[in-house]
Amino acid sequence: MSYRDLRNFTEMMRSLGYPRLISMENFRQPNFPLVAEILLWLIKSYDPNLDLPSDIDTEQDRIFFIRSTAQLMATKAHIKLNTKKLYGADGYAVKEILKITTILYNAMKANKQNEENNSSENAKAKFDISNKITDLKQSRHLASDITTRGASVYDLLGEEPDLRDQRTTALARPLELDDLEDRVSKSVSSVEEQHQHTERMLNNIASDEANLEAKIQKKKQELERNQKRLKSLQAVRPAFMDEFEKLEAELQKLYTGYFEKYRNLVYLEQQLEEYNKIEQEKFERTELSLKRMQDDNDGDYGNYQKGIRINGTGELDDHDELELDDSTNEQVNTNAMYGRIGNGSDSEESGTLSSEGSGLEVEVDEDEDDEDIIDDDDDDDDDIESKDRSHSLNDSDNDF
């Protein structure tokens, strides 16, 4: 519903002379009494002789009122109204009411224009159009009534031959007084029996009422006794109530401790999983780097073997021996380092490198200083990791 429609509706109702002041806020929420009052006033303004039910207390009454209004406007004014929107009694109902209001307002404007244009004819006798409209409607109603009654009279006249014979037979039959007396006496006796039966039912009702009152009094007394017993039981404190409250308090403390421990356990399990994951990643990286170093060393050692220059007699030159010594020392140092990082091997523990191709053996002393440096680095890493874990545990406790 637009603001313009609400404004036009209020102005039209004011122009038509509606006695109540209508605000545009009246239709923000459903307001069925106001809608019903406006519809009654508009229909009476359209035709004062129309009669509508004004009872809208129940749901069925409201539905009947809306249907009657829509039917009257459809038959009398040829205006089709939406009953669902009218029953809603909100802004959408104003659109439907505006159809009736517009017709009345246009008629009023046309009447005013005719009066202004025909001001010279005001001296003539006034012509009451409303009375003529009423007479026209009455004529239409009478014409339809005459047609209906004429059809019923025609049907009754068609049955007249049979009815005439039956009537003649009944009138020609002689009256038997004994038969009439018997029928009258039977009718009187049946009426007396009905009267006696009714009196017996009334007496039974009185006795049933007395029995019901006695039962009601008995139930009331039982109810009072039960209420008194309930009050007495509520006033008495059970003997085990103190122990129950004490155990309940202890249970609450135990549950609090259990909850805190369970929470810490879950947190520590999570930290352990993260730590294991980090260690696994470190192990994988270390293993990969060691594998790469081993591959590089194997390749260098093979190159050194291929580069050895041997004389025709199978002996090495002085230059070749120097190069072999240098390469062998580098290979042994590298393997020794690999053995320390990867937990060592048999050849690295002995510190001896054997050359299969040339039959040479080179002994290399392990460097104790390098081993000490590596051990110190490992200890520093362990200290840093333990500090990080302690800080993370403290932070998590603070978060909880």
Q: What is the pLDDT of residues 128-178, one digit of tens each?
A: 566 677 778 888 888 988 999 998 999 989 888 888 888 888 778 777 778
Question: What is the distance between the alpha carbons of residues 10 and 25, in angstroms, rounded to a whole number?
Answer: 11
Question: What is the distance between the alpha carbons of residues 322 and 39, in angstroms, rounded to a whole number?
Answer: 123
Question: What is the distance between the alpha carbons of residues 208 and 187, in angstroms, rounded to a whole number?
Answer: 31
Question: What is the distance between the alpha carbons of residues 361 and 131, in angstroms, rounded to a whole number?
Answer: 142
* DSSP-derived secondary structure for 208-240: HHHHHHHHHHHHHHHHHHHHHHHHHHHHSPPTT
Token readout for 171 is 């009138």
Residue with tokens 């009478």: 142
Q: Return all residues near 12 (Cβ < 8 A) that are at least 6 apart.
A: 98, 101, 102, 104, 105
How many other CB atoms sit within 10 Å of the CB of residue 41? 16
3-113 CATH pick, 1.20.1070, 1.10.418, 1.10.357, 1.10.10: 1.10.418
What are the distances in angstroms from CA 84 to CA 81, 132, 182?
9, 34, 64
- The predicted structure's pLDDT at residue 120: 52
Backbone angles phi, psi at 353, to 5 degrees: -110, 125
- The predicted structure's pLDDT at residue 381: 53
Residue range(s) occupied by CATH 1.10.418 in the chain: 3-113
- The predicted structure's pLDDT at residue 382: 54
Q: Residue 361: helix, strand or coil by DSSP?
A: strand
Token readout for 159 is 């049955």
Question: What is the distance between the alpha carbons of residues 68 and 83, in angstroms, rounded to a whole number?
Answer: 10
Q: Residue 257: helix, strand or coil by DSSP?
A: helix
- The predicted structure's pLDDT at residue 192: 93
- The predicted structure's pLDDT at residue 272: 96
* C-alpha torsion angle, residues 111, 114, 119, 121 (rounded to 10): -100
Rg (CA), the chain: 58
Residue 53 pLDDT level (bands cut at 50, 70, 90): confident
173, amino acid identity: R
Question: What is the distance between the alpha carbons of residues 65 and 36, in angstroms, rounded to a whole number?
Answer: 8
Residue 350 pLDDT level (bands cut at 50, 70, 90): very low
Whether the pLDDT of residue 327 is over 90: the answer is no
Token readout for 394 is 């403290």
Whether the pLDDT of residue 321 is over 70: the answer is no
Work out the mean pLDDT of the chain and round it to a whole number. 75
Please choose, from the candidates 271, 256, 258, the residue with its C-alpha nearest in 3D space to the C-alpha of residue 397.
271
- Percent of the chain whose predicted confidence (pLDDT) is above 90: 20
Q: Residue 288: helix, strand or coil by DSSP?
A: helix
pLDDT tens per residue, range 94-118: 888 888 888 888 888 877 766 666 6
In this predicted structure, which of 220-229, 246-255, 361-370 has the lowest mean pLDDT? 361-370
How many other CB atoms sit within 10 Å of the CB of residue 99? 15
pLDDT tens per residue, range 284-316: 999 999 999 988 888 776 666 666 544 444 444
Question: What is the distance between the alpha carbons of residues 25 and 38, in angstroms, rounded to a whole number?
Answer: 16
**pLDDT higher at 219 or 351:** 219
Question: What is the distance between the alpha carbons of residues 39 and 2, in angstroms, rounded to a whole number?
Answer: 20
Q: Are 352 and 365 in contact (CB under 8 A)?
A: no
- The predicted structure's pLDDT at residue 303: 66
Residue with tokens 């029995």: 211
**pLDDT higher at 23 or 127:** 23
- The reply to whether the predicted model has a pTM over 0.75 is no
Please choose, from the candidates 391, 344, 383, 342, the residue with its C-alpha nearest in 3D space to the C-alpha of residue 366.
344
Question: What is the distance between the alpha carbons of residues 38 and 33, in angstroms, rounded to a whole number?
Answer: 9
Question: What is the distance between the alpha carbons of residues 387 and 391, in angstroms, rounded to a whole number?
Answer: 6
In this predicted structure, which of 3-12, 78-87, 183-192, 227-236 has the lowest mean pLDDT? 3-12
Backbone angles phi, psi at 253, to 5 degrees: -65, -45
User: Across residues 84-96, what is the average pLDDT?
Assistant: 83
Token readout for 177 is 């007084």
pLDDT tens per residue, range 357-397: 333 333 334 444 444 444 555 555 555 555 555 444 444 44
Question: What is the distance between the alpha carbons of residues 380 and 214, in angstroms, rounded to a whole number?
Answer: 98
Whether the pLDDT of residue 219 is over 50: the answer is yes
